[in-house]
Amino acid sequence: MSTTIKFLLLGMVLILGGCAHPITITPDLSTVGITQQTKSSKSIGYYLAEPVEKEVTTSGGGGDNVKYKPYKDLETGLYKMYAGIFSNVTLLSSSSDPARSKLDYIAAVEISTSSSSPSLFTWPPTLFTLNLANNISDAKGTVLSNVRTSGEGRAEFSEFKSDFGLAGKRASQEALNKMQGLLVSASFLGKGLDETTKTGSAVNSKEDQLKELQRLYGSGLITEAVFSERQRAILNQ
């Protein structure tokens, strides 16, 4: 390709660049929030630190951007994540929702994102990072813990024909699953997962839980990081 043509193509990219293409970053819910074989008898309510309709713009490729609504896209995934740990989960309207007085734990959910792509000619991001924070307090507002993690998603150009937000969806899935693993073993729960309600006629043994965890990991339903976190939580029970 001649130098002149390269400059013309680059000029076209710069002229056409700057668009914000809409995508969604809702993960595959079948791979999010694996239900623990025993749940905590404690209750939790959570609220979003930003409006659910808040739209965010981050970088894509070719000088373009992508726009999406992270709180809305993760809303169902967040509920499923908590429901895998706690027997009672409530979505609160705000930090001052009166329903909080009847709950054991309150979680303020914060989400931040970034994305990028080295391509000059295609706009979907190939790298996406989602940071997820749970600021945990009790019903009176006493801060108990600040649990933070992040998920990273990557997607090849060949995958974009079917899903432009694929990197973002993979990042969301990883962040939610990692957060669940951290919450299961978080110090604020104390013996919360020992004082459980039974999901069957009897609480499964550690051996059974470890076998189930290995099955989930072998099937690709959880990441290695989540596997390690949950394995440690089971062994520490």
pLDDT over 70 at 219, yes or no: no
Q: Which long-range contacts (CB under 8 A, 24 or more apart) does 160-163 make?
A: 160/122, 160/124
pLDDT over 50 at 86, yes or no: yes
Looking at the domain assignment, is residue 40 inside a domain?
yes
Looking at the domain assignment, is residue 6 inside a domain?
no
Looking at the domain assignment, is residue 9 inside a domain?
no
Tally the C-alpha atoms within 13 A of residue 91's C-alpha that lie toward its C-beta: 13
Tens of pLDDT, residues 142-189? 999 999 999 999 998 888 777 999 999 999 999 999 999 899 888 787
pLDDT at 190: 64
Looking at the domain assignment, is residue 47 inside a domain?
yes
Mean pLDDT on 191-204:
39
* Number of domains the chain is built from: 1
Looking at the domain assignment, is residue 10 inside a domain?
no
Looking at the domain assignment, is residue 22 inside a domain?
yes
* Backbone torsions φ then ψ of 100, nearest 5 degrees: -65, -25
Domain that holds residue 124: 17-196+204-235
CB 72 within 8 Å of CB 51: no
- CATH code, domain with 43: 3.40.50
pLDDT over 70 at 140, yes or no: yes
Looking at the domain assignment, is residue 114 inside a domain?
yes
Report, in this order, helix, strand and coil percent for the chain, each rounded to 5.
Answer: 35, 30, 35
Looking at the domain assignment, is residue 141 inside a domain?
yes
pTM: 0.74
